[in-house]
Amino acid sequence: MVNRRRAGLLRGTVYRVFYRLPRRMQRFLARRISPKYILGAVILLHDHDGSRLLLLRQPPGHGWGLPAGLIDRGEYPIDAAVRELAEETGVRLAGGTELVPASPNAVVHTSGRWVDVVFTANVDPDTTELTIDGAEVLDIEWHDLANLPPLTPASAKLLSHYGIGPYAESLGEPVSD
């Protein structure tokens, strides 16, 4: 009881001191002690009937993953998704019409401290030309949702939020990140 009371008094004192500091110093301290999260944009690109998913293999090539990348400072997530999809696969889609927010739109990976903003689209694989740059992407293929190849752990965990992949049965239970 005494320790809880001391902790409460100490916390109250720290807050009073903090709020008396100049606004610039408050921002500086808050940025230093607040947890940081990396923001990424991920694309679930399905074929026209939704039975297949476009996956890619990137260096070092241990498992298949989703088209994705980091969101640049000041960039809107939808713009990052459009950019990353074009860079990694050659597929150019219009954000907001062809590429739309998935549900859920954001997946928070608390132990890795990153947030993926997820978008989805359907295209016709017969008329969609895929390009591999050979540096960032080693291989691109359409895979049947019922028979996915070995996935990277991050992709498998993310796909579980959409009821897809090896962790899909744990939907509703937290999947450790």
Q: What are the structure tokens assigned to 140, written together? A: 């691109």
Other beta carbons within 10 angstroms of residue 49's beta carbon come to: 8
User: What would the mean pLDDT of 79-102 be, rounded to a whole number?
Assistant: 93
Task: Give the closest residue to 116 by CA, choosing from 164, 173, 177.
Answer: 177
Residue type, 135: A
Q: What is the pLDDT of residue 170?
A: 66
Indicate the pLDDT class of residue 2, thresholds 50, 70 and 90: low
Q: What is the pLDDT of residue 172?
A: 46
Indicate the pLDDT class of residue 147, thresholds 50, 70 and 90: very high
CA dist., res. 82 & res. 95, Å (int): 6
pTM of the model: 0.78
User: What would the mean pLDDT of 55-79 be, rounded to a whole number?
Assistant: 93
CATH class of 38-169: alpha beta
Alpha helices in the chain (DSSP H): 2-20, 23-33, 77-89, 153-160
CA dist., res. 61 & res. 58, Å (int): 5
Is pLDDT at 62 greater than 90 in this prediction?
A: no
Indicate the pLDDT class of residue 175, thresholds 50, 70 and 90: very low
Is pLDDT at 17 greater than 70 in this prediction?
A: yes
CA dist., res. 177 & res. 175, Å (int): 6
Q: Where are the domains of the chain?
A: 2-33, 38-169
Please answer whether residues 42 and 119 qualify as being in contact, where contact means their C-beta atoms are separated by less than 8 angstroms. yes
Q: What is the DSSP letter of 126?
A: T
Residue type, 5: R
Q: What is the pLDDT of residue 141?
A: 95
Is pLDDT at 1 greater than 90 in this prediction?
A: no
